[in-house]
């Protein structure tokens, strides 16, 4: 029996891993000394039997050590990041990051691609023509210093072990494991060289975590891990029992984010942005946070930061659009009160139509016209699916109709 098989059996029997054993697993998988089949068995064992706090800290540390840890020197502001556990239509990072930078913070942000039913911030940014989210650490640090923010994906330099494990978790349905979630989130954030972190813990039928209680448990665990690495963490919970904002997709979410930065955001979306922003400003010791955030939006400073960041990443937002050839309206079959009961289905539908012949269809997505508890009449359009492939839309249509009920 190999070493990894022994460790898998130990975890199946609820035995604890030492830090040395966890480091062996992470390092060996990264270096192809453990194959995907054995790693899947280990992930399943963790999914079923969890890890204690010491194991989770060791796992996080091993992921960090697989790459480089960034340090920032001689900055005249607080270094902070924001992270969300994911939800349908969640483009808060794209809005809040530039706002915080315009308020005087420095925001180094390492983001992921879509995982399970949720969209990925990097995928959305890459829908901007030319945007390079995989720049080197030196360019990343330069952008943070000069602009106040830089948003990149995981490269070979930052937590490469997490990138590899993250992809396997997505394929093997081992996403919703608190220790694995914590290790994935905190390793990237700690590697950024931040002083503070605000967390948006999503819960509900459109999130990985179903209940608010699970969200609190995760928030506490993430905060505890942060403290072990000298990062101050604040967490808030967001109800994701329905989509956030008016759009879900790729280019359409970038356009909505730009509108928010220009003062034209929806109430539900901006409420989350301002709540998290105030938590971030509290960590940074910035007073009158809400007023300052409103000022940088109304003055155009927040959008200017976003525009500069996109430019420095090679992107061109001068002609960004969301042109599509086909759409299907999802309509109410009867009158009554709308209730989204399985928002994940919308995420699955959007992810499905975002693929076109093996490539991303940046112009595909969904637009939402109604919210839960709205009174609607028979024939009202609840949401619209759009893309450049009608066959994809017809399949996604079935998923969309399964996402809500009318009482």
Active site residues: 81-84, 121, 169, 184, 188-189
Distance CA 401, CA 334 (A): 13
Please list, in sequence order, all residues whose beta carbon lies within 8 angstroms of the beta carbon of residue 7, skipping any fewer than 6 positions away.
17, 21, 24, 25, 42
What is d(CA 400, CA 407) in angstroms, rounded to the nearest whole number?
17
- Comparing CA positions, the residue from 384, 295, 375 lying closest to residue 346 is 384
Q: How far is CA 336 from CA 65, 116, 329, 380, in A?
A: 55, 31, 18, 11
Distance between CA atoms of residues 190 and 227, nearest Å: 11
Tell me the C-alpha distance between 80 and 105, whole Å: 7
Q: Residue 106: name the closest of 67, 149, 63 by CA.
A: 149
| Strand runs labelled E in 250-380 | 326-331, 336-340, 355-356, 359-360, 365-368, 375-376
DSSP 115: B
- The Cα 184–Cα 68 span in angstroms is 15
Angle in degrees, CA 157, 218, 275, rounded to 5: 90
Task: Count the neighbouring beta carbons within 10 Å of the beta carbon of residue 258.
Answer: 19
* Spatial separation of the C-alpha atoms in residues 251 and 255, rounded to whole Å: 6
Q: Whole-angstrom Cα distance, residue 151 to residue 108?
A: 7
Percent helix / strand / coil, the chain, rounded to 5 = 45, 15, 35
């Amino acid at each position: 029996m190999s070493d990894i098989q022994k460790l898998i059996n130990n975890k199946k029997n609820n035995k604890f891993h030492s830090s040395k054993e966890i480091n062996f697993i992470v390092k060996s998988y990264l270096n192809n000394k453990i194959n995907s089949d054995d790693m899947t068995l280990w992930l399943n064992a963790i999914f079923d039997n969890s890890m204690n706090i010491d194991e989770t800290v060791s796992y996080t540390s091993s992921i960090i050590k697989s790459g480089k840890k960034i340090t920032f020197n001689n900055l005249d502001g607080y270094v902070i990041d924001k992270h969300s556990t994911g939800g349908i239509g969640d483009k808060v990072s794209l809005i809040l990051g530039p706002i915080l930078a315009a308020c005087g913070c420095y925001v180094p942000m390492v983001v992921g691609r879509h995982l399970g039913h949720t969209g990925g911030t990097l995928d959305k940014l890459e829908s901007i023509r030319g945007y390079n989210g995989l720049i080197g650490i030196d360019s990343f640090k330069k952008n943070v210093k000069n602009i106040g923010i830089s948003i990149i994906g995981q490269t070979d330099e930052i937590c490469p072990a997490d990138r590899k494990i993250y992809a396997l978790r997505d394929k093997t349905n081992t996403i919703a494991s608190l220790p694995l979630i914590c290790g994935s989130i905190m390793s990237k954030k700690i590697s950024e060289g931040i002083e503070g972190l605000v967390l948006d813990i999503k819960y509900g039928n459109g999130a990985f975590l179903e209940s608010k209680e699970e969200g609190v448990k995760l928030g506490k665990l993430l905060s505890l891990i942060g403290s072990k690495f000298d990062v101050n963490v604040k967490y808030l919970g967001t109800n994701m029992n329905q989509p956030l904002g008016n759009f879900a997709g790729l280019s359409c979410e970038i356009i909505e984010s730009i509108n928010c930065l220009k003062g034209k955001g929806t109430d539900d979306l901006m409420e989350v942005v301002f709540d998290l922003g105030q938590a971030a400003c509290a960590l940074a010791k910035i007073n009158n946070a809400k007023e300052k955030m409103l000022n940088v939006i109304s003055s155009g400073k927040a959008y200017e930061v976003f525009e500069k960041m996109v430019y420095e990443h090679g992107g061109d937002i001068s002609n960004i659009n969301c042109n599509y050839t086909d759409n299907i309206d999802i309509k109410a079959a009867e009158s009554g009160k709308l209730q989204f009961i399985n928002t994940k289905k919308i995420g699955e539908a959007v992810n499905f139509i975002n693929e076109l012949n093996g490539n991303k269809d940046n112009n595909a997505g969904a637009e939402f016209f109604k919210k839960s508890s709205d009174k609607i009449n028979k024939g009202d359009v609840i949401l619209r699916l759009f893309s450049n492939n009608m066959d994809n839309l017809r399949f996604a249509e079935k998923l969309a109709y399964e996402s809500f009920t009318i009482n």
